[in-house]
Chains A and B, each alone.
Chain A
Amino acid sequence: MAEKKINLLVKVWRQPSTTSVGSFVDYKISVSPDSSFLEMLDEINNDLEKKNLEPIAFESDCREGICGTCGLVINGQPHGPIPKIATCQLHMRNFKDGDTVWVEPFRAKAFQVMKDLIVERSGLDKIIAAGGYISVNTGSIPDANAIPISKERSSIAMDAAACIGCGACVAACKNASAMLFVSAKVSQLALLPQGQPERTRRVQNMVKVMDELGFGSCSNTYACEAECPKGISVKNIARLNREFILANVKSDNIEA
């Protein structure tokens, strides 16, 4: 582990509120390469607070890459330059002394900037509420081993279930589409026997709400997969498309 500090110029998007105009503000910092990116922002904030200036508003919680709260665009890339990690897992050893670093919020029509680097992503919850579940009440359940599921199938379902709901796929997409996020949940449940009874309704309802909320459509550029911190595969989008087509053939209870 290196000990020498690195000096950076950090250009951070500051925007007091949703309706106000934002701009980049420069900060100079000398930071340990063992610090995380968010710890570097903490240090800037601690200095600002000491000078009685408002700290940079940004969100994080677990700082372990699992809660999906953090999410910054760093040098133009959602979650920064290293693939398959969330912003909170990025460490300063990936930057060089003298670098300039640009920090912006996730930008998408369906994600409003609330303050500085904080955006509102509740649209993703609304899509889940529309059908991202198996309708089972507490207690009305068979023994867990009553339905054998092959290790392979369960493992592919788990790959899809690993989505942390961060919204980087939306921010990465030029159409601000939430297809990767939606396809991950649709795939997980379509792959499992428990998910079969609602397979048709689920995909239709989730896609409908996604469209209503102003997320764009998917034009297969795959920028989402490249920026996804959990490596959710675009194969899930292909599966979603198949599910959706099949659902429209099969179902008669939805007016499109």
Chain B
Amino acid sequence: MAKLDPKIPAGPLQEKWVNHKFNMKLVNPANKRKYDIIIVGSGLAGASAAASLGELGYKVKVFTYNDSPRRAHSISAQGGINAAKNYQNDGDSIYRLFYDTIKGGDFRAREANVYRLAEVSNSIIDQCVAQGVPFAREYGGMLDNRSFGGAQVSRTFYARGQTGQQLLLGAYSSLMRQVHLGNVELFTRREMIDLVTIDGQAKGIVVRNMVDGAIEKYSAHAVVLATGGYANVFFLSTNAMNCNTTAIWRAHKKGAFFANPCFTQIHPTCLPIHGEGQSKLTLMSESLRNDGRIWVSKLKKDMREPNDIPEEERDYYLERKYPSFGNLSPRDISSRSAKEVVDEGRGAKGGDAVYLDFKDAINRLGKHVIEERYGNLFEIYETITGENPYNVPMKIYPAPHYTMGGLWVDYNLMSTIPGLFVLGEANFSDHGANRLGASALMQGLADGYFVAPYTIGDYLASAKPKKESLDHPAFDTVKKENEELIGKLLSIKGKQTVDDIHKKLGRIMWNKVGMGRNEKGLKEAIKEIADLRVEFWKDVNVVGTDKDINQCLERAGRLIDYLELGELMARDALERNESCGGHFREEYQTPEGEALRNDEEYAFVSAWEYKNLGSWELNKEPLIYENVQLATRSYK
């Protein structure tokens, strides 16, 4: 087993980051121009890192498969971003944000990383306001806050229901300023399909030009992946259509360890599935839980219209089970509770949905207040479902949403491959087994604006990596491997479409590696996924050529990685004989049905090392808690 060194700086929690920054080696301003940095991804993490590194004077290249950096999936985040400003004077502090995040993650995240995240959170808000991000304000002109699941303070900053959009456009505008100044070069419609390592160090990438199909090579002193999460392994998720795991998965196969792959977040408030043709799931912001009450009928198979079900026959199950957090209980608990009542046959009209009801809030606050708070969300709901939530309770159901797992990184956000940094949702670092609402935006921007610009500089100054020439044979080997892979995909000419097979994978993942997992199901899933992989390579039909825009080929390339990652997720879930956060093993629960953690044996990060197709070695990074006491997470 390899020894994993998280490189956590010594000293008290509160001083680690400050001391670490002081101890870092710096790159002389005049020398920064001599360093090339590749950044894959232009979401919050990638765009903020690219802008900040460009401002420092490094030569940055940014790659994205979208036609514009502004389209990255971060744009669709609705609810908000956390920070420990304590503007509301309600008892918030850096320590409380740190503690809530550790507890929300069910004590499976690194203390030092999470503390740093809370520490830089305040600068993020300052930065965004300086960029002109129009956060919501109060009449006095000060910034407004709301509260989010898993917290008892109001620390979430927001811009209507479009917080991700406004934060991303802020980062994007800073990025475009650097493009204009010539410090950052943009490569759009490029999909990274492999990492190039030389002597075990990251030296560049190979990308597919999605317009003409050319396989291109790029070399740099350091490579940054900020490529987002992998919830689309489920086929249906709240992620954008193009989100995929290819960048991190192919880096994993080149030696980067994959951490906690099974930690996935199923979001409690999404729109239910309408039918077989469904292409993705729509999130209804969790902020709705501030005022909406979640309930189902007390009766099984109750086919009445929701408004015909009298008050005393309704079960407000979250308020009943978790009186102090109620409808704001953390996501994993809320999702699982919804599944329970649906499994009991008490879902809305007997189906896979529960009600989210605003009647009481409208009576208490008036329709205009609800309209001001959630107007655009209500409109979205009505556009999609054709029902008006001011009159009829919304129907919601959990859906795959966020992946806490990702490439393993040390405190400096560097993976097990020297020179390969991983930021944002693509790494595993800060959310443990469950992420709190409004904390992903915070992490993406913390990594990109305030962490990576320091730690990458330190790497360049201390490791003094060399940039390799594109003529180095390693580049051509990787290029050729990928050309062959594409050739093979196009030559199968089977009978099933790429989506047919992706849907099959999604069904296995949702049923057996989803909200509730057990040994038998996981073992079946591992076999079924391996079989599906064989089926794919025999029977898929990838239409078209490799010489122009070919979306079928793009989807096929992404699916082959999901077909491998899905298996690893199941293996990781099988290995972890406990329930924690988003990972619920049915064998490990309390008599009341709550998750039963096993701190003695499982207080570690699982970091998987790729060996061969279908074979991995498990490495463990022990989680050491010096500041918080491991406690049973209680939201009662």
Question: A residues within 8 Å of B by Cβ?
Answer: 1, 16-17, 31-32, 34-36, 38-40, 42-43, 46, 48-50, 52-55, 57, 59-69, 82, 85, 89, 91, 93, 114-115, 118, 120-122, 124-125, 128-130, 132-145, 147-151, 154-155, 157-158, 161-162, 164-165, 188-189, 192, 194-195
Contacts and interface: CB of A to CB of B under 8 A. Distances in A.
Contacts of B277: 31-32, 35, 39-40, 42-43
Contact of B141 (A149, A162, A189): A149
A61 B384 contact: no
A138 B240 contact: no
A194 to B, nearest CB: 5
Given A43-B277, A62-B240, A125 B549 contact: no
B66 interface: yes
A129 to B, nearest CB: 4
B132 A1 contact: no
B626 to A, nearest CB: 29
A122 B162 CA distance: 23
A122 B127 contact: no
Given A17-B548, A35-B277, A91-B386, A148 B140 contact: yes
Contacts of A125: 68-70, 176, 186
21 contacts: A35-B274, A50-B495, A62-B75, A63-B240, A91-B386, A114-B211, A122-B67, A129-B176, A132-B173, A133-B176, A133-B177, A134-B131, A136-B174, A138-B453, A139-B450, A140-B130, A141-B130, A151-B137, A154-B134, A158-B159, A161-B134
Nearest to A49: B497
B142 A129 contact: no
Contact of B176 (A17, A132, A139, A145): A132
A111 to B, nearest CB: 11
| Chain A interface SS verdict (over half) | loop
A148 B141 contact: yes
Closest 3 CB pairs of A and B: A148-B141, A133-B173, A158-B134
Interface in B382-417: 383-387
Contact of A144 (B69, B85, B162, B549): B85
Nearest to B48: A138
Contacts of B67: 59, 69, 120-122
Given A35-B277, A46-B497, A142-B130, A61 B241 contact: yes
Contact of A118 (B180, B500, B549): B549
B551 A55 contact: yes
A141 B66 contact: no
Interface string B619-630: 000000000000
Contacts of A194: 129-132
B177 A55 contact: no
B73 interface: yes
Interface residues of B, number: 85
B290 interface: no
A195 B385 contact: no
Contacts of B140: 148
A68 B70 contact: yes
Interface string B204-216: 0000000100000
B548 A115 contact: yes
Given A31-B277, A62-B73, A128 B176 contact: yes
Contacts of B141: 148-151
Interface stretch (B12-20, B194-202, B278-286, B293-301): B278-286
Given A57-B549, A115-B548, A63 B176 contact: no
A145 B166 CA distance: 18
A57 B384 CA distance: 24
Contact of A133 (B131, B135, B143, B188): B131
B362 interface: no
A53 B541 CA distance: 10
A5 B242 CA distance: 28
Contact of A61 (B73, B450, B493, B552): B73
Nearest to A137: B55
Contact of A63 (B51, B177, B275, B279): B279
Given A39-B277, A67-B240, A133 B174 contact: yes
Given A66-B75, A91-B386, A162-B162, 4 more contacts: A46-B497, A52-B541, A122-B188, A141-B123
Contacts of A120: 67
A150 B137 contact: yes
A133 B175 CA distance: 9
Contacts of A147: 129
A91 B382 CA distance: 11
Contact of A134 (B75, B130, B159): B130
Contact of A52 (B136, B385, B543): B543
Contact of A93 (B241, B386, B449): B386
Contact of A136 (B131, B186, B548): B131
Contacts of B85: 144-145
A28 B325 CA distance: 51
B76 A64 contact: yes
A194 B135 CA distance: 13
A143 to B, nearest CB: 6
Q: Which residue, of B48, B174, B180, B500, has the highest number of chain A Cβ atoms within 10 A?
A: B180
Contacts of B169: 161
Contact of B279 (A38, A124, A130, A145): A38
A89 B179 contact: no
A123 to B, nearest CB: 10
A1 B137 contact: no
A195 B85 CA distance: 24
Given A60-B241, A69-B66, A1 B274 contact: yes
Contacts of B534: none
Nearest to A140: B130
B126 interface: yes
B604 to A, nearest CB: 34
Interface string B497-525: 11110000000000000000000000000
Nearest to B496: A50
B544 A165 contact: no
B143 A145 contact: yes
B132 A195 contact: yes
A133 B138 CA distance: 24
